[in-house]
Structure formats: C-alpha cells, structure tokens
Amino acid sequence: MLTSDATTVRPPRWIGIGLWIALPVLGAVLGVLLTRLPAWLTALPEWVFALPFAPDEERFSDLAAVIGLPAVIVLAVIGMLAGAFLALMAAAESFTVTVDESKIVITRGDDEIMRRPTQDVRSAFLDEGELVLLDHDGAEPFRGRTDLDDRSLQAALTGHGIRWEQADPYDHEFTRWVDGVPGLEEHANAVLRERRRSLEKGDEDDASALRTEAARLGVVVRDRADKQQWRVCEPRRPTRES
C-alpha cells in the first residue's frame, strides 16, 4: 500500500541502548581483571618461568603486591571510557534510510551519504548484505552495506512506489574485471585499477568514491570475494536532487 508519509528505517533503539550499557560495563570489567593478571601469572608452574626468555617470577610477584585499590579504580575507569568510545564509534556507523514522496535520504551516523529523488529510483534489493538501488537506466545510484531489517526496508521502499527485487536483475551481466579486459575503455580500466589498490589497502572511502567515478563512465561495479565484477549500462541522466 502506497503512503504519502515519510518512512524511516533505522536500527532498533534497544541495540543502541544495549551498546551504551554493555560496552562500558565490559570495558570496566576487563580493566579490573587486568589488575589480577600479575597474581594469576605467579600461579603458573615453575617450569614456565624456567623457559628461555621467560620473565622473572619475582617481577610478577612484586607487581601483584603493589597493585591496590587506586590501580583497580583507574583501570576500571579507563576500560569504561574505552567501551564508551567503542559505543560512540558504533553509533557513528549506524545506517538510516528515510523515504518520502519526493526523495530518498540515506545517512550513516550524522553524515548524509545519499539524497536522490524518489521518482528516479526504479527498484531496490539486498545483495550479500548491501542495499542496492537501481535507477531507470539500470545504474546503481547507491550500493552500501547495511544491517537494517530487510522486511522493514522492503515495506518502506515499496510503500513509496519503489519495486523490491528478490535478487539483482542484472546479475547475469556481471563479469570479473581483469586489467585491460576487452570491452572496457581505458579510462574505466584505470579507475578500476586504482580502486583495486584502494581495496587492497582497506581504504573503503576511496573505493566507494571510485565506484561512483566508474558509474559516471557507465560502469557498474560490485565486489565478490575480494575481486571486482563489472557490467556496462547507459550513463545516468542528470537529475535535480530535491
């Protein structure tokens, strides 16, 4: 059923609350356990300390003797802060999709990573954990990893007239990229060559930017088992984003 109201799909609230509670508590517990490490090491069998390059048992004993309540508190606080930092990083990576009659907006944390007129998106599907949007030319205006509930995504998108595909309708057109492959112009080859370097370095931001550059050349790119696959489509028509 179509709707005129804006629909937002985001991670369940309990996940965020759980992370903000669980990670600081876990960090504090690990900090406290760390203060017990020297005492546990002194309980190791004698033959362990007789091994070459093994530390002196007396050093662990001396360290265990000087660790008191202040050290326990300090390490617990450090662990709690580290857990809070991890929770903050997780929140910064949270993925949100908002759809209304005029536009689709996708954000990651506080950053808007895509805004496109709803009428320009023909269909959508999930591909190995990535949300993929297709325009009317068969290009992919968006492809990005998400852990949002697929039923919620489907309801939000179909509710605004965007068809939900069970699989990539262009799957059969993809082929593995090999440097210098026939049928791909040199500029596109150079882009995919540079993108391969970015993937090898783990630079996801640069790889994403180069995927966009390839799209401008009429080349759709996806990743399979650390290998790039590509297909050709008509270059996307310029559209006015609202």
Q: Which domains does the chain have, with CATH numbers?
A: 13-92 (no CATH), 95-232 (2.30.29)
- Of residues 191, 201, 197, 200, the one with CA closest to residue 221: 191
In this prediction, residue 241 carries a pLDDT of 39
Q: Extract the tokens encoding 140.
A: 């992919």
Q: What is the rounded distance in angstroms from the CA atom of residue 217 to the CA atom of residue 238? A: 13
What pLDDT is stored for residue 168 in this prediction?
96
Whole-structure pTM value: 0.72
What is the reported pLDDT for 2?
61
pLDDT in the model for residue 238 = 46
Q: Which of 159, 22, 170 is nearest to 97 (CA)?
A: 159
Q: Torsions phi, psi of 166, nearest 5?
A: -80, -20
**In the prediction, which pLDDT does 234 show?**
64
pLDDT of residue 4: 67
> What's the pLDDT at 209?
92
Ranges under pLDDT 50 in the chain: 236-242
CA distances to 34, 52, 57, 62, 180 from 41, rounded to whole Å, are: 11, 16, 8, 12, 58
| pLDDT, position 235 | 54
